Structure 1
């Protein structure tokens, strides 16, 4: 009886951990970030960005690239240089079907389709390649879900078509 109760508790606990992104709030943050990038709205963009965390993430990525190429870079990139990478203008949003710039900001459903869990309180917005490389990383903070990491500049986010609505 104790074994059955323990197994039932384990099943219930793992179901709670496997919640879909839309149930935890990160989809709203991802959609808000993509919409602000699409409209080039810097004020809305800043509301979902943890700038210090994104700077640190980019600085580490750039240092790894430099080290892989046998370059010594003292201190890494400056905050000013990193800040130029962390803007709505750094994002290129295109339609998955045509590759053309999006005609409208991505919907919540389109943003949700790009997200996958990356631990308990992190999600990754991935590209549309078979490898699903992580382009943006969101983490849960006291203030809600925020962008904490991103690929260096020069990437494109391909947004799939609006999912078909289920008929009632």
Structure 2
């Protein structure tokens, strides 16, 4: 191979692969910052997280020993909520659906997925953790959000006081 071909090939490779590598690097940098924020909140509350979840719309940390759940919403200026699972009696997944206009694809379309935490034997709602909102920034991956909500509902349910 001659030198001009190597230069043109290398330039084209950088032109197409460079932005992809930059996007991956930026996402990893964002995730590390968010994990650091979650760990800062945990350390100020003397919590050690056994399970964590980081996404663009939600940061979750669960300390199974202390039975506390930390929920941080990056869209709300990184405000956090600490939920004492000792005071929670039940949890359940809520799926809000609307009739589908195109009947060939199914009867209903899911527009929201959340976990509702209940106290007082399922009578009073403590909080609702939103995993998917059709109008939100991550509207394309509803199935992944449903899987994530089911996983966290199981984790929460396992750590509820009996």
**TM-score normalised according to structure 2 size:** 0.33
**Rg comparison, structure with higher value:** 2
Structure whose residues are more often strand by fraction: 2
